[in-house]
Amino acid sequence: MGAHRDQDVYRPDEAAAGEARAALVREIGLSGVLDDPAWQTAFAQVPRHLFVPYYFVGRPGGYDRLWYGDLDPRRRERWLRGAYADSAIATRVRDGELISSSSQPSLMARMLDELDVQDGNRVLEIGAGSGYNAALLSHRLGEENVTTVDLDPEITESARTHLATAGYRPAVVTGDGVRGCPERAPFDRIIATCTLPSVPGGWLAQCAPGARILAPLATGLIVLNAGEAGASGRPDFAEGRFLPTAAFFVPLRGTPQGVPMAARPLGGLPKGVTDNDLFRFLLALTEGSLDPHEALSLWELERRPARERYGVTVSGGRQWAWLDDPAGPYVWPLEPTGPAAAGLLSPGGP
């Protein structure tokens, strides 16, 4: 279904859609987020179904497509229920590969809450997706303060159409998310809705002093707080820790793909370890820097640390991850240039 068809979005019974939204808000509230009345209002009023006029549900061997215009009323009802389920929705599949999705609403709410926006903040979103997250930001901050970027012109065209249908017109830019959007900088907040191998260096240069960056990294969510303005007039330092929450997103397009270490079979290691989510997180965070057996030794020595014990520092065009303390004994580069078994860096960063 082409993006031009999205303009003719099926509008279900408003009472049914409103009830579904209210139920979703209640369900998200049970997950411990949405304490902020402004975000409660945004989730209660932004119609998610307008952003997913069609989507895909997994089945053995592929995907089934649900859409608003199905002739079968039972499938249309299933489409509406799915649009307001607290689950991720596959919105674009190409050659059997998922390339875009609308994230799980409760995870979106948690990320937006952790973004800690203030009235008047200018926000850059990396990964336009369906446009739903940009709509929530626009509702909270005003569309003039929101910029969303995606590499795929089909995705940005579709997101722009969905946003306009719902009554929002933030800046929707087709471009490389790694580059950010320098023409609309500076930003007070940057949020990514796709997994990164590292924090793109150009983002920090587009931050206002004291800005906040929230992005999926490895299989977690890193929150970085930028410092004050450096010699360039923009921050040249940012640091922060991971949230406790696990996060699995579609990779940022245009970055090296391959099969992540955290998703590979790991022969020679105990199965009870290789199936452990926190160990897989450590593998993803230290990929290219630590041999898996080294990572296992560290993990066991430090009593299987949770995500929030890890952090990231970005400084002087370089960045590194660490356990407990950025100047402690466990520090490694996020973009190593040496051999895979380069090992830990000396305390204090690379």
Residues catalogued as catalytic: 100
Strand order in the sheet with 318-323: 171-174, 146-150, 123-126, 187-192, 207-217, 220-226, 237-241, 310-315, 318-323, 331-333
3-state DSSP call for residue 344? coil
Distance CA(50)–CA(34), nearest Å, equals: 22
102: enclosing H helix or E strand: strand 97-102
Ramachandran quadrant class, 60 (left: phi over 0; alpha: psi -120 to 50; beta: rest): beta
Instruction: Give the tokens for residue 110.
Output: 């948690």
Show Cβ contacts of residue 37 under 8 Å, excluding neighbours closer than 6 positions.
none
- How crowded is the C-beta side of 129, counted as CA atoms within 13 Å? 29
Find where tokens 């051999």 sit.
Answer: 339
Q: Quick check: 88 and 132 in contact, CB under 8 A?
A: no
Please give the angle made by the CA atoms of 51, 166 and 115, to the nearest 5 degrees: 70
